[in-house]
Amino acid sequence: MRFVDLAATSAAVAATSGRRAKVELLAEALRNLAPEELVAGSGYLAGELRQRQTGVGYASLRELPPAAEQPTLTVAGVDAAIAELAEVRGPGSQQRRRELLAALFGAATVEERRLLLGLFSGELRQGAQAGLLAEAIARAAEVPLPAVRRALLLAGDLKTVAVAALTGGSGALTGFALRVGRPLAPMLAQSAASVEEALTAVGLPAVVDVKLDGIRIQVHRSGDDIAVFTRSLDEITSRVPEVVAAVRSLPARELVLDGEAIALDASGRPRPFQETASRAATRGARRAVGASGEPGSGDGADAAEGGTRSFGAAPVAPSTAGSVRAVGPVDLSEVPRIGTSGTAPAEIPGPDRPVAAAPSVLAAANTSGGVVLTPYFFDILHLDGVDLLDAPGHERWAALARTVSAAQLVERITVDTVEQASEAFAAAVDAGHEGIVVKAPEAAYDAGRRGAAWIKVKPRHTLDLVVLAVEWGNGRRKGWLSNLHLGARDPETGGFVMLGKTFKGLTDELLRWQTERFQELAVERGDWVVRVRPEQVVEIAFDGVQSSPRYPGGVALRFARVLRYRHDKSAAEADTIDTVRAIHAGRRPD
């Protein structure tokens, strides 16, 4: 398939408002892809590259050769070129990468370059989200939409599902199931502004979990193999020996656990998020699922003789406490609690608060040379041959409590009133955690979906900050001033301290307005950054403050996003760096 035709589809989808029309455009493009182009082509339509790391950043895209007059690129050719870019390593790699990038963009027409820039920058916002692409796959392959959605949830990768549907039809889609060793997209939570709003959506009674400020982990165990995956399905097993040690101690043969890993201080309070994140950084990590949908298929990993899957972790000591049961319906209340006998308790047990890491976890952490990560689990998706995805939450959580010790469970209570949930929220925040997740006890595990069964509630921070500079946008935002440099007022010097950047929350209307506004305030115009007089105040929402050596104030905002411009405030009324540091320290700003 010509790459220019795919670029035309992308542009047409972006320009089309109707859902049905978007789906038909995408479906037609999928039909026209050759089998060997399906992985890359479906990824391009979703706005993503097949290659996880390319080494191409914004700076690499600033100086490009003139566009080609005539289209010559194919989808397969572009994919091969990007794959070659991703493989560049060692001495002279920067120069070689520039040469390859110049060759690719030099062969691309204006329309093709627009798509390439969006793919490399990650800013291809054409309205082709996963839901639309699932419909397009179903239409192109002439298979039932529910079958595509289910396969997508279990595979966790749209490209894999597209290949299966378009080459194997409905029969291939039925082959997707929870497989121990192959990660699946985790269930996600919607957000609510208040506890009351969350309970209105979920209903009462409800289960309330403490929301830890850690990294999401999905842990798979099959016999002597253990693997740990991130929310984005990257494998980080070798980076988190504490998690492996914790799961090694569990008396079960097959497990899939969902949870968080977090760095705690000596008192049990969370350490800054970046300390946790640095231990599990996924740079160079192995992608869990390749094009074939098999674990490790992207890196040549082979299954061991006899069908045992190699997860990439050091073998764990064999356990004789668990037994493999046949897959099929099961009454989880009849599964005996580990180390006891009898049926599940009526209440779902959980620890009073996160406790110190177990000695085996601490010992494992010593091998990493870094901060200790303590794992806590809040769900179980598979137990000794039984898939639990479709079981109600209260049954899964009871099975979890029977399998995992209380010290490794996220704090959890059942609430019958708003007052009880509000008290749990206040206690979680006071303990230094992110907030709570309110859950419907009857809901199944909706893999890969951000449904209404889980609702997260976090304190919402806002600051009035000053715009110090703005960057020109890429892709769909090309020609508009987009990325804002944000500063807090320094009362000691009278200047401003930069806290980070954001382009989140900006509508087209705001982009148009701020492009005019900041050109009026410009004091220095660069090809990439326009520095402005520090006059315009903007209200910014964010999830927290983290330490950052990158900025002169030593702190940066997490997940900053624009709420509105404050035309009623002058820069002298903006929030101060002292207020930001108070939030970082966990104190209430004065």
Mean pLDDT by 10 residues, the chain (590 residues): 94 88 94 94 89 80 90 95 91 89 94 91 67 91 91 83 95 88 89 90 96 93 93 89 92 94 83 75 45 32 30 36 30 31 33 44 50 92 93 97 94 96 88 90 86 88 93 89 94 90 88 94 93 94 84 87 86 91 71
Task: Please answer whether residues 147 and 174 qualify as being in contact, where contact means their C-beta atoms are separated by less than 8 angstroms.
Answer: yes
Question: Under a CB-based contact definition with an 8 Å cutoff, are residues 530 and 519 in contact?
Answer: yes
Contact 263, 276 (CB under 8 A): yes
Query: Residue 263: which residues within 8 A CB-CB, separation 6 or more?
Result: 214, 270, 271, 275, 276, 279, 371, 372, 373, 374
Instruction: Convert the pLDDT of each residue in 235-268 to its tens digit.
Output: 999 999 999 999 999 989 999 999 999 988 877 7
Which of 3.40.50.970, 3.30.420.40, 1.10.3260.10, 1.10.10.410 is the CATH number of 3-173? Answer: 1.10.3260.10
Phi/psi for 578 (5° steps) reads: -65, -40
Q: Given the DSSP bridges, would you call strands 412-415 and 496-502 parallel, antiparallel or unpaired?
A: unpaired
pLDDT at 130: 67
- Angle at the Cα of 554 (from 549 to 560), degrees rounded to 5? 95
Closest CA to 262 of 433, 461, 438, 458: 433
Position 52 scores a pLDDT of 74
What per-residue confidence (pLDDT) applies to 337? 28
CATH architecture classification, 461-584: Beta Barrel (2.40)
Give the helix/strand (H/E) hosting 79: helix 75-86
- Residues in CB range of 504: below 8 A, 6 or more apart: 559, 560, 561, 562
Token output for 464: 């009035």
Say how many C-beta atoms besides its own lie within 10 A of residue 392's C-beta: 16
Q: Which two tokens stand for residue 532?
A: 């402005």
Per the residue annotation, which of 159, 211, 458, 501 is the catalytic one?
211
Other Cβ atoms less than 10 A from the Cβ of 64: the count is: 16
Helix (H, G, I), strand (E, B) or coil at 235: strand
User: To 10 degrees, what angle do helices 145-155 and 130-141 make?
Assistant: 130
Reply yes or no on whether 211 is catalytic: yes
Feature table: binding site for ATP: 209, 216, 231, 260, 378, 450, 456
Q: Where in the sequence of the chain do the CATH 3.30.470.30 domains occur?
A: 188-452
Residue 448, both tokens: 């890969």
Give 95's contacts (C-beta < 8 A, 6+ positions apart): none
- For residue 558 the two structure tokens come to 């997490």
Q: Give the pair of three-digit tokens for residue 174.
A: 């039925």
CA 364 to chain centre: 26
> What is the gyration radius of the CA atoms in the chain, in angstroms?
25
Residue ranges of the chain that CATH labels 1.10.3260.10: 3-173
Distance, CA of 49 to CA of 82 (rounded, Å): 9
Q: Confirm if 205 and 441 have CB atoms less than 8 A apart.
A: yes
CB 580 within 8 A of CB 545: yes
CATH 3.40.50.300 fits 188-452, yes or no: no
What pLDDT is attached to residue 265? 80
pLDDT of residue 316: 33
What is the CB neighbour count within 10 angstroms for residue 111? Answer: 18
